Structures are given as structure tokens and as C-alpha cells.
Amino acid sequence: MQRQLNAWLFWICLLAGLIPAWAEAQQKNSSETIPPARSTYMGRRIAQAMSYHGADWLVRPTRESEERPSEVLKQLRLKPGMVVCDLGCGNGYYTLAMAKQVAPDGKILAVDIQPEMLHLLSLRAESEGVKNIEPVLGTIVDPKLPKESVDMVLLVDVYHEFSHPQQMLAAIRHSLKPTGQIALLEFREEDRTVPIKPEHKMTKKQILREYSANGFRLAQQYDGLPWQHLMYFEKDPNWISQQVSDKPEN
Ligand SMILES: C[S@@+](CC[C@H](N)C(=O)[O-])C[C@H]1O[C@@H](n2cnc3c(N)ncnc32)[C@H](O)[C@@H]1O
């Protein structure tokens, strides 16, 4: 009965474009208490999570010429044996490519909040014979990653969708090895020619504001991509953790 109710709730939320509302409702059925979703964070409007119905867009043939992911993969400098998390992996555009780079001993933890995205990813992994991917169904506050065990967390076009950025950044911080880093890709808000809706873009200034407030410092950046910022963050050892505020700004 509860499963049926959940399924109905999912479809109602989906039709209304409310993936985070569905995920939040799911959470309420579990023992976790989830603070209300934010609509803004540090002055930025938070975007709606992209539905799995749009997953084809993520694997469109023009993605290479528009975003140059092959250059991103070169810049990430992954090595065999690494443990990498593709957080907000969608249907696995980056997951599959990275899995091949860290093989045979390394693995990709592929996290998403939509089980349908993980299913699409598993079909693609199967058809390409890629085996070193661990799908993880995360929640809107917790990517369910093991403690201090990840070399890199890749966030491609997803951070701006986090309804609970503070909780997510705290969980990522917890999961990274002491030398681990976040590789963050966000569409450049500073550039009006990037043809993406404003709430799906971020400025470097805003990114730095939010990441430094949550215990990260800029380690490196690469400005050679056509549409996106690529910024690497490491844990700031001098950061003093403050209590995460559950109070939405809206
Ligand atoms: C725009 S898609 C990008 C997918 C993939 N990174 C790519 O570039 O092909 C964003 C994905 O992030 C997921 N997402 C949103 N919030 C999330 C969260 N808190 N934890 C994990 N995944 C999340 C969405 O479900 C969606 O699949």
C-alpha cells in the first residue's frame, strides 16, 4: 500500500515538475528528518532538478562540440586505481568515460536521487561492458558516500540544483580523502552567450562564496572550456565548522 502511494506521489510530482518535492516526500517516509528545501542560497536562486525525462539531452551528439567534455576528462587527470564519485551522474555521460580511465582497480561511485537515471546508466554500462561502476541512490541531503574514501567528487551541472547545498557539501567533505578534491563544472553566468537558463548558471564569485562558507578552498581552475567554469576545491584545514542552518532564506 505504502509503495503504491509512493508511486502515485512520484508521478504527481513528476507531472508538476517537482522532483525535489517527491524526493523530500520519500525521505519523510524514512527515519531521516529533512529540513525544508531551499529556494535560494546566499542570494542565488536554486534551480529545479532536471527530470529523467530529459535524459536524452545529456547524451546529445552536439555535447562534445558545445561543452568539450573530452577536454574536461583530460583536465581531470584521472589515474587507474582512483575512487571517483560522479555526483548527480544522470544517465552516466561522464560516469562511463571515467570508469574506463580508472580501471582496472579503480571505481566510480555513481550517485543520483532519481532511480530512473541510475537505471538508464546501468543499461548504458551493460551495453558497453563497463563493470567498475557502483550505482548509489542518494537523497537530497546525503549522497551516501563512505567516509574519507573518495579521491575526487565530480559535480557536472548539478550543484546549482541542490535543494540543500550546505548538507550536501558537508557530506562531500566527509567523504573525501584528506588529499581529495571536488571538480566543479557550472555554466558561466558571467557569459551571456552561453545559451542556458540563468538559474542553471553560476558566477565564479558566487561559487567561491558558497564553497568557502562550507569548508572548501580553491585549489585550481581551468578557463579553457567553451561554456563552463571548471574549478577544483580542496578541504580548507583552517575552516571552523558552524552549525548547518536549516532555516530557508525564502
Ligand atoms: C543536469 S543533470 C546532469 C547529469 C550529469 N552530471 C551530466 O552532466 O550528464 C543533474 C542530475 O543531478 C541529479 N541531482 C539533483 N540533485 C541531486 C542531489 N542532491 N544528489 C544527487 N543527484 C542530484 C538530478 O537527478 C540529475 O540527474
pTM of the model: 0.88
- Model confidence at 19, pLDDT cuts 50, 70, 90, reads low
Q: What is the pLDDT of residues 152-184, one digit of tens each?
A: 999 999 999 999 999 999 999 999 999 999 999
What is the dihedral angle through the alpha carbons of 112, 114, 117, 123, rounded to the nearest 10 degrees? 100
- 30 CA distance to ligand 1 centroid (A)? 22
| Residues 6+ positions from 232 with CB-CB distance below 8 Å | 181, 182, 183, 184, 218, 219, 220, 221
The grid coordinates of residue 28 equal 519523510
- Residue closest by Cα to atom 16 of ligand 1: 162
Contact assessment for residue 219 and residue 233, using Cβ atoms and an 8 Å cutoff: yes
* Closest C-alpha among 242, 243, 236 to residue 216: 236
The pLDDT value recorded for residue 16 is 40
- Residue closest by Cα to atom 23 of ligand 1: 88
- 79 CA distance to ligand 1 centroid (A)? 24
Asked if residue 5 has pLDDT above 50, the reply is: no
Q: Find the range with the poorest average confidence among 23-32, 139-148, 220-229.
A: 23-32
Percent of the chain with pLDDT over 90: 82
Q: Which of 158, 172, 229 to mutate to test the pocket of ligand 1 (most atoms within 8 A of CB)?
A: 158
- 50 CA distance to ligand 1 centroid (A)? 7
Chain-centre distance for alpha carbon 64: 20
Binding pocket residue ranges, ligand 1, CB within 6 Å: 49-50, 58, 87-90, 93-94, 111-114, 117, 138, 140, 143, 156-158, 161-162, 168
| Residues 6+ positions from 150 with CB-CB distance below 8 Å | 83, 84, 85, 109, 175, 176, 177, 180
E strand residue ranges, the chain: 40-41, 44-45, 83-87, 107-112, 133-137, 150-156, 176-188, 201-202, 216-222, 228-235
Rounded mean pLDDT, 211-236? 98
Domains of the chain in sequence order: 45-235 (3.40.50.150)
Cβ of 117: how many Cβ atoms within 10 Å?
25
DSSP structure class, residue 29: H
